[in-house]
Structure formats: C-alpha cells, structure tokens
Amino acid sequence: AEKAVKYVYDFTEGNKDLKDLLGGKGANLAEMTNLGLPVPPGFTITTEACKVYLESGEEPAALRDEVSAHLEALEQKMGKKLGQPDNPLLVSVRSGAKFSMPGMMDTVLNIGLSDKSVQGLAKQAGDERFAWDSYRRLIQMFGKTVLGVDGDLFEDALDKAKQAKKVTDDTELDAADLKKLVTKFKKIVKSETGRDFPQDPREQMDLAIRAVFDSWNGERARLYRRQERIPHDLGTAVNICSMVFGNLGPDSGTGVAFTRDPASGQQGVYGDYLQNAQGEDVVAGIRNTVPLAELERIDKKSYDQLMQIMETLENHYKDLCDIEFTIERGRLWMLQTRVGKRTAAAAFRIATQLVDQGLIDEAEALKRVTGDQLAQLMFPRFDEHAKVEQVARGIAASPGAAVGKAVFDSYTAVKWSRSGEKVILIRRETNPDDLDGMIAAEGILTSRGGKTSHAAVVARGMGKTCVCGAEELKVDTKRRRMTIPDGRVVEEGDLISIDGSTGKVYLGEVPVVPSPVVEYFEGRMHPGADDADELVEAVHRMMAFADRKRRLRVRANADNAEDALRARRFGAQGIGLCRTEHMFLGDRRELVERLILADTEAEREEALKQLLPLQKQDFVELFEAMDGLPVTIRLLDPPLHEFLPDITELSVRVALAEARQEPHENELRLLQAVHRLHEQNPMLGLRGVRLGLVVPGLFTMQVRAIAEAAAERRAAKGDPRAEIMIPLVGTVQELEIVREEADQVIAEVEAATGEQLKLAIGTMIELPRAALTAGQIAEAAEFFSFGTNDLTQTVWGFSRDDVEASFFTAYLEKGIFGVSPFETIDKDGVGSLVKAAVQAGRATRPDLKLGVCGEHGGDPESVHFFHEVGLDYVSCSPFRIPVARLEAGRAAV
C-alpha cells in the first residue's frame, strides 16, 4: 500500500528546519515549543496540503480526519472543546509560508466563538465586555477575509457606534455597545453574502483554513512574490493555535520585539508594546504603542522572562530574531519568532558582531549578508552640510536618502513613476493594498505606526527608504495634501526629501553625498581611524572574509585610466574588458570617418597611421594604471555606422545645403556612406571580427598599438600584461585569420624593440555557434571571455536594446521569467551553453583561461553560477566590484 502522507504536525513534532513543509511560522513555533518556551499549543497543516488544494481545488481526502485527530488532542490538552458553549476553546488560524510575506496573506483569530459560546467565554474570563469584543472581532475578520465582505462596512459601523457614544477609543465601548455591534456585524454579513455568519465552530475553522490556502494566490501575495522573487508554487502552511488574549485588561497586552536593533544591529531592547490589545493591533499600527522598555515598569516579571527568552533565542538561532508575544493576565506567551529582517547596514554589523561573540564563523558570516545589501550601502546619502528645512521627524524605519514629489495614493505613485517622475508615497499608514505604490516610490512616509508597522517591515524588505510614524504631519489623503507643524500645506507634486536613517523629513530637494562605504573603497576613509564608523569597520572585515574564501578572481570592465584606477582601489585584479570603441569617439571621430570613407588604400592607411599613436597612448596609460595586472583589450566591435552621423540629421543637412546652394560635397559623401553601411539588423551585421576581416588594416593597427604600448611600458621597467581579445567570433577560421595577422605584427614590434611581449590572444564567446564549437575555437584561443550580453541576445533572439522597453514588463507580469535574462543569467538556456563551452574549451586546452565580461559579471546570482561552472574570473563595472568580490566569497562557502 502507498505510504500515507502526513498533512498535519503538532507543534511538538516539527522543528525549525522543516520550513518547506511547515512554513516559517510553523517550523519556528515547533522549535520554540521544543526549546521549552511558553508557546500556546497547536498544530500546523503542511504546505503539501495547500499544494494539493491549489492544484485540484479540493483539500486532500485525508486532511479532514487528520485535523480532527489533532484537534481532539489539542482539546484534551487544553481541557476544553472548540466552541463548547460553557467553556470554549478558541483558536487562531494563521497563514505561514516558507518565506515571510508580511501582511500578504490571511489570518483569523477567535475561531470558535458563536452566539452560545460567547457567553461561555464571558464566564471563563469573568469579563463580559471582553467576550463580546472578541466575538465582534471574529465576525469582522472572518467576514472580511473568509467571506470577502468589504472591511470598510465593519469599520464604519464601529466608528458609528463610537460616535453615538461620543468616545474615540474602542476600549470605551462597553459590553452592551459591543453586543449591539455584533448584531449589526451579523446583519452586514447576511446582507453582503446572503448567508448567516456560521455558528458551527468546526465549519468556521474549515472555512478559515480554506481562505488561508486561497490567499496564497491573492493579488497582493502574487505581486509581493514576484517582487521578492519567491516561487509561486511553494504554497502556504496553516497554523491552528490555541488563543491567548492580550485584551483581557491592563495586565494583558501584546507586543513585538527584536533581539537587536534591525536598523543598526546594536544590541539592546527594541520593540513596541500595546497594553490591553490583541495581536494584529500592533502590526497594523492602529493604536500607538509604547517602547518595549516600558514593559519593565508595567509588568516586571513578564519583562524579565521575555529578556531571558530573547537571549535564549539569539543563542539558539545565532542571529537576530524578531518576536511576537502576548501577555494574558500576567502570563507571557510566545506567538512567533523568526530570524528577523534587517537593514543592509545592520546585516553587516550583526554578522561581524556574531563572529566576535563566537556564535558563528567567517563562512557563516558571509552567508548572512548579500551583494545587494552591499550595493545598497554604496548609495549616496543626504549632505549633512546642506542648508535644509526640516519639517518633521518620524521613525527611521528603512535607511536611504529619497527625494521626490509628494503623492498621497498608490495609484498616483504608479502613474507618475511610469512617466519618469520620482515620487514619495505619503500615507497615514500603509496596508497591503499600497504595495504597488510602495514599489513605484523612491521612499515611503507615514504619519502613524512604529518600526514594526506594515510600511516599515515591507520597505525594509524591499530595501526602500522609509520614515514612519511622523505624527506631527497631518496627512489628508482625500484632499491629497499634508499639513506640517507650522500650518503650511504640502500639496501633491511638491518636492520633499526623507532620510530613512534618521527619520527626518525635509521640504524641497536636499543634495546627496557619497556613502561612507564608497569613501572607504575609494581609500578616503580608513577602518581603524577615529572617524571611521562601525559600518565601515564591518564592511572592511566582511570583504576580507570574502577575499580569503573566494576562488573567482574579479576584474573590471574599464576603458580608461581613471576607471581602471578606481577599479583597482575597489579591489579589481585586472581589466576583463576594455572596449576600444570608446576610444574612437570625441575628437577622434573625424579620423574614424576618414577611415570609413577612404576611397583609396593610401587614404585609408593615412587615417590608420594617424589613429595609431592615439590608440597607443590610450594603452600606455591603461597599462600603467594596471601595472602587474592583466588587461584584456577587445578589438573594435560595433558596426561602423555607429561612428557616422545620424541618417535623418544628415539628410536634413544635405537638403538644407542644396536649397541654399551651399557646397555640400562632404555631406553627400557621408550620406552615401551611411546608406552603404545601413543594415536592417546591425547587431547581426558587419561588426566584431567581421569588421576586422573586411576593413583592411583596422585590427592590425589596434594590435600594433597594443604591442608598441606594451613595449614602451617594458622599456620603462613596467610590467604590462596585455591580452588581445577578438569579439563576435562564430567559427575558429575567423579567429585563425585574425590571429595569424596579429602574430605577425607582434613579431615585428618585438623585433623592432627587442622586447619579449608575451601577448595572449583569445576570444569572446558570445554567439551560440561559438559556444557550440568551443572545442575547436580553443585551438586558436588562449582564453575565452563569455560575452553574456550578446549571448543572451542571440540565444533568446531578444534585441538587447529594445526588449526591456517593449514587452519585458508583460513577460515579467506573466511570470515567464522573474527577472530579465539580461540582468541575471538564464541558467537553463544561456547558462547551459556557457557550461558546455567551458568543458569543451578545457578539453582542448587544459590551461585555457576563462572569464565573463557581460553585465552578469556583477550580478550576485550570476556570480554564484560562474563560480559553479568553474570560470577563473568575472569582470564587471568598477562600482560593482565590491559586490562581485563579496558574492564570489559567498559562492565559495
């Protein structure tokens, strides 16, 4: 017989490593249960059950009985039955996927309450008001999330009840008011759904479980997953947990806590506490919380216990944890923990602190940070010395310096940002419906809510600047404006600046300055110096860890001495791609034009002769900047028409000259040449090695310039290490011809100068045919450098210059890929060609040197791939070098 699949796990059965099956929340509840921490008993329905439901539209057949068995066990443990009229057990039904998706999916509390059991709860708690409050919360949450009733209907009814009583706070409504409200809520459910609010507790539970499953495919959840690159097929687990109550009076409450500051990494007491309130009140930022430290005064016993649990958790998880807890009449309960989200700066600081505490080693520390975080830390920040007009200060929720036009709703944020405007999304508080506006905005500003409010948590996750809880601001979203403390009004479209590292809000545009991390890489700030901040120290140490671990070398794509020197300061171990076309622009363009237009061999040779010393000087400077390190110089690649004037502009010039009867012989010749060189598909046309083969003398001039520059550097006691690279090769024959000519030129220069130049000659692999015949090509190449930009273009048949602006958005929205293949290497397609070419190339020539110089060389995920397929180095733009070093280190541990 088939072995039965187990769909339900008691909290005592799971552990933290079962996140795939139990989701993050379920796995960690189990872990805490097994650590002996006070977790209310419960059980978890697996993601497997969810997957069956999502695929078939029905829960697996065995699920019902398994849930019954676990519910019975839970009832026995608690000594009461779900919804039992005189002594009810109540449960929460909470979603919990493998990766945390804050606020994206559904949760229902107080399941088990009904017209009958509400009386039992009142007796149990000795508090009638509390019982009716819990019941109205159930109908409200259940109505909204399970039955799909518009939540505003309940909110409006609640507001009306408060107005009728002339009170502002929920807690001022008494049992009788709440009883009436329950009647009203039930009417809303009936009129909106055509059915009564279900009185059968088990039916409530089953419907809530199904609603959680369904919420996996809710629009918000899908959008969030796409943004965070979370796969769509994981499904969510469902946690059924016996209820504990934070709303049983002043000796009860609920809160969230971090074992360290998630913004800076500093150890201490961080969190928010809300007295006499139930779970969601804190995260939703509905009422204002007090700092966690206040709990010591409110309830010292629970506070001390919480501090001890936090220490236990940190030592156990060896990382920053965040926690949700509830105190029920002086008794502390842990409702959730997980390894907490943190800012980029905190990630670096915490990783090094944990190494110092002996909790983790260097390899583990590298796993705790990412290249994306490092890239974030290299963003500029506001200039401290700028003249600014600060108008408010909120909570520094997610760091960064953001400037943009004020917008007050998500729709406008998206619309304006699509038309190229930078916007700051301002809300009283955010909720999951604001997600696409948050993605579109440069930064997010709210007037309510703490460090754990929705805005703060989501912004931190996205690495987006956020200031929250700026209470001095009166945000009026209906009229699209906010009032600042002195009474002035900021209208939609006004420029503002927000600093997510300090919480400060400024009117107008504040200028920005480079980040200290960049100052460090530039060598203008030194770790160990008095003014070096802790972040710089942490980054410095993490880079050292990465450099010790990594196997991949990191080179730069750089075309001039200035970029080369910066790259070197940033840790580049050579130049992997010098694009010589960049040396053919500016005032040399005229020479290039003459070369292209030459009618006779003599004319062409004259143009080349004039270009030669200029090219040579470029290389001398580059070799000097990179003395002792390899410099790969690629011969001319782009189609020649790129060096000629634009065809339309030129036609106009000719027409004008004709009309005015001015001489225009040159323009006419140019126009003819432009027409002659015009191609429908220039990227597939006369470019790369093809140019070298049909424009006599072009490549040999470049080779001569390289050889002479190397000879000159050697004569000056330098150590030039040039490598000559041929672009867009599709067959070994092309390479052989160019190689033969190049060898001859090099021999001539060696003979003339008496220097042994040792110039390596290799090729780019950037066409599918080159990758497929890499074994043959390696016969004529001493190195390969994968040009993954062109390789992606040609493997997919995507024009690299057009697609991102045309149909990629649609492709991303449809989930055809989660990220552009021009950004992260397409492992299955392009990647498998790279892998095959590596193997074939090395089979022919075991000491073949292998690198990559497409944009992917600086992309974190791609760097890991290049490590795995065994390349020797990646090459990327100078500013990405630290990221590539770090990721190469991470790939190796």
Which residues have a catalytic role annotated? 454, 853
* Shortest distance, position 852 Cβ to ligand PEP, whole Å: 8
x-or-dash string of contact with ligand PEP, 721-760, rule CB under 6 A: ----------------------------------------
Phi-psi region of 359 (alpha: psi -120 to 50; beta: other; left: phi over 0): alpha
Smaller CB separation from ligand PEP, 417 or 702:
702
Is there binding between residue 851 and Mg ion (CB under 5 A)? no
x-or-dash string of contact with Mg ion, 786-805, rule CB under 5 A: -x--x---------------
Is there binding between residue 279 and Mg ion (CB under 5 A)? no
Which of 580, 788, 794, 877: binder of ligand PEP (CB under 6 A)?
788
* Shortest distance, position 852 Cβ to Mg ion, whole Å: 11
Q: CB under 5 to 8 A by kind: which of ligand PEP, Mg ion, none does 618 bind?
A: none
Is there binding between residue 767 and ligand PEP (CB under 6 A)? no
Smaller CB separation from Mg ion, 247 or 788:
788
Total of residues contacting Mg ion (CB under 5 A): 3
* Interatomic CA distance for residues 102 and 622, integer angstroms: 50
Smaller CB separation from Mg ion, 789 or 832:
789
DSSP secondary structure letter of residue 5? P
* Shortest distance, position 793 Cβ to ligand PEP, whole Å: 8
* Shortest distance, position 694 Cβ to ligand PEP, whole Å: 19
Q: CB under 5 to 8 A by kind: which of Mg ion, ligand PEP, none does 853 bind?
A: ligand PEP
Give the Cα-Cα-Cα angle 646, 649, 654 (nearest 5 degrees): 115
Query: Across-strand partners of 390?
Result: 506
Could you tell me which stretch among 446-454, 615-623, 671-679, 785-793 binds Mg ion (CB under 5 A)?
785-793
Q: Give which of 105, 135, 111 is closest to 200, Cα–Cα.
A: 111
| Coil vs helix vs strand at 287 | coil
The dihedral over CA atoms of 561, 565, 571, 575, expressed in degrees to the nearest 10, equals: 10
Which of 59, 66, 299, 790: binder of ligand PEP (CB under 6 A)?
790
Q: CB under 5 to 8 A by kind: which of Mg ion, ligand PEP, none does 59 bind?
A: none
Smaller CB separation from Mg ion, 388 or 726:
726
Q: What string of DSSP letters covers 416-451?
A: HHHTT--EEEEESS--GGGHHHHHHSSEEEESS--T
* Interatomic CA distance for residues 340 and 262, integer angstroms: 8
Which of 124, 171, 753, 789: binder of ligand PEP (CB under 6 A)?
789
* Interatomic CA distance for residues 41 and 27, integer angstroms: 14
x-or-dash string of contact with Mg ion, 376-405, rule CB under 5 A: ------------------------------
Q: CB under 5 to 8 A by kind: which of ligand PEP, Mg ion, none does 577 bind?
A: ligand PEP
* Shortest distance, position 632 Cβ to ligand PEP, whole Å: 11
Smaller CB separation from Mg ion, 449 or 638:
638
Give how far Cα 830 sits from Cα of 584, 682, 790, Å.
31, 22, 10
Total of residues contacting ligand PEP (CB under 6 A): 10
Smaller CB separation from ligand PEP, 31 or 790:
790
Q: CB under 5 to 8 A by kind: which of Mg ion, ligand PEP, none does 381 bind?
A: none
Q: Are strands 395-398 and 465-468 parallel, antiparallel or unpaired?
A: antiparallel
Smaller CB separation from ligand PEP, 325 or 822:
822
* Shortest distance, position 682 Cβ to Mg ion, whole Å: 13
What type of residue sits at position 16?
K
Smaller CB separation from ligand PEP, 25 or 579:
579
Is there binding between residue 787 and ligand PEP (CB under 6 A)? yes
Q: Are 168 and 162 in contact (CB under 8 A)?
A: yes
Q: Are 860 and 359 in contact (CB under 8 A)?
A: no
x-or-dash string of contact with Mg ion, 735-774, rule CB under 5 A: -------------------------------x--------
x-or-dash string of contact with ligand PEP, 628-667, rule CB under 6 A: ---------x------------------------------
Largest CA distance in the chain: 106
* Shortest distance, position 821 Cβ to ligand PEP, whole Å: 12
Give how far Cα 291 sits from Cα of 57, 236, 297, 373, 720, Å.
45, 32, 11, 28, 61
Smaller CB separation from ligand PEP, 125 or 554:
554
Could you tell me which stretch among 50-58, 420-428, 609-617, 786-794 binds ligand PEP (CB under 6 A)?
786-794
Question: Other C-beta atoms within 10 Å of 367: how many?
Answer: 11
How many Cα atoms occupy the beta-carbon half-sphere of 775 within 13 Å? 6
Is there binding between residue 766 and ligand PEP (CB under 6 A)? yes
* Interatomic CA distance for residues 90 and 674, integer angstroms: 79
Footprint on residues 807-866 left by ligand PEP (CB under 6 A) = 853-854
Phi and psi for 763 in degrees, rounded to 5?
Answer: -140, 160
Q: CB under 5 to 8 A by kind: which of ligand PEP, Mg ion, none does 128 bind?
A: none
* Interatomic CA distance for residues 352 and 371, integer angstroms: 16
Q: Are strands 575-579 and 873-876 parallel, antiparallel or unpaired?
A: unpaired
Q: CB under 5 to 8 A by kind: which of Mg ion, ligand PEP, none does 615 bind?
A: none
Smaller CB separation from ligand PEP, 430 or 875:
875
Q: How far is CA 545 from the centre of its chain?
A: 23
Phi-psi region of 836 (alpha: psi -120 to 50; beta: other; left: phi over 0): alpha
* Shortest distance, position 579 Cβ to Mg ion, whole Å: 9
Smaller CB separation from ligand PEP, 450 or 574:
574
CA R_g for the chain: 33
Could you tell me which stretch among 15-23, 26-34, 437-445, 788-796 binds ligand PEP (CB under 6 A)?
788-796
Phi and psi for 431 in degrees, rounded to 5?
Answer: -140, 175
Question: Other C-beta atoms within 10 Å of 520: how many?
Answer: 25
* Interatomic CA distance for residues 266 and 255, integer angstroms: 20
* Shortest distance, position 591 Cβ to ligand PEP, whole Å: 22
Q: What string of DSSP letters covers 141-181?
A: HIIIIIS---HHHHHHHHHHHHHHHT--SGGG--HHHHHHH
x-or-dash string of contact with ligand PEP, 564-593, rule CB under 6 A: -------------x-x--------------
x-or-dash string of contact with ligand PEP, 143-162, rule CB under 6 A: --------------------
Phi and psi for 265 in degrees, rounded to 5?
Answer: 90, -5
Could you tell me which stretch among 322-330, 644-652, 670-678, 783-791 binds ligand PEP (CB under 6 A)?
783-791
Q: Are 496 and 406 in contact (CB under 8 A)?
A: yes
Which residue is at the shortest CB distance from Mg ion? 790
Smaller CB separation from ligand PEP, 778 or 853:
853
Smaller CB separation from Mg ion, 443 or 638:
638
Where are the strands (E) in 678-810, listed by range?
721-726, 760-765, 783-786
Give the Cα-Cα-Cα angle 396, 399, 405 (nearest 5 degrees): 90
* Shortest distance, position 727 Cβ to ligand PEP, whole Å: 7
Query: Across-strand partners of 81?
Result: 88
Q: Are 569 and 521 in contact (CB under 8 A)?
A: yes
Q: What string of DSSP letters covers 346-369?
A: HHHHHHHHHHHTTSS-HHHHHHT-
Could you tell me which stretch among 345-353, 583-591, 614-622, 779-787 binds Mg ion (CB under 5 A)?
779-787
* Interatomic CA distance for residues 160 and 693, integer angstroms: 82
Query: Across-strand partners of 269?
Result: none
Binding-site ranges for Mg ion (CB under 5 A): 766, 787, 790
Tell me which residues touch ligand PEP (CB under 6 A).
577, 579, 637, 766, 787-790, 853-854
